[in-house]
Amino acid sequence: MKSIHNLPPIILASKSPRRQDLLRLMDADFKVVLKEVDESYPDHLSPEEVAVYIAEKKAKAYDETVGDEIVLTADTIVCIDNQILGKPESIEHAIEMLQLLSGRVHKVITGVCILYKHQYNKFFDVSEVFFRKLTDAEIRTYVETYKPLDKAGAYGIQEWIGLTGIEKINGSYTNVVGLPTEKLYQQLLRVIK
């Protein structure tokens, strides 16, 4: 029977502790290997295409150097009104992002690329996240306490603001954390078919 325990070793090309935690919870055998990659993208792409484009761009940086390992890359973006919210550049920028998300629904899109034997398996997942109306004091306290400058949309669903401010989610919770584990598991099993 195919399982995640029969996979070749996985290289996770991400410094995200949340992605590392999710892979550990999946019982995956992986190591983290990082390379600097320019995350710019063409302006004409849809948000879903942007997430996949960046994930594939990250994977291409490993194609020449990887052996029999699987390279796993991902990119998570937050999108509201077709505007992509990346990682905030400052505390004030993070506050502005959360004020924009407050009391509204937004999409979290994670693009994933699995590179194995020079083949690129790409997919994405989308979750809708419903934030209650947050007060300015709640937003400022969260940003100053948790410093979410490394997170798309300036928040982590697993942190205080997610626990107290998110009313519901349509779609995968782990996708909002940064890796759609349900889809990832199925795609990884296809890689070793």
Helices vs. strands in the chain: H and E counts, helices first: 7, 7
Burial of 67 (0-12, 13-18, 19+ CB in 10 A): exposed
Which position among 75, 81, 125, 150 bears the catalytic label?
A: 75
CA atoms of 108 and 152, how far apart (whole Å): 9
Distance (Å) of CA 48 to CA 54, 129, 145 = 10, 16, 31
- Residue 75 annotated in active site: yes
Name every residue whose Cβ is closer than 8 Å to that of residue 145 and which is 6 or more positions away in sequence: 160
The answer to whether the CB of 114 falls within 8 A of the CB of 182 is: no
The answer to whether the CB of 21 falls within 8 A of the CB of 2 is: no
Q: Which amino acid, one-letter code, is at 10?
A: I
3-state secondary structure of 175: helix
What residues act catalytically?
Answer: 75
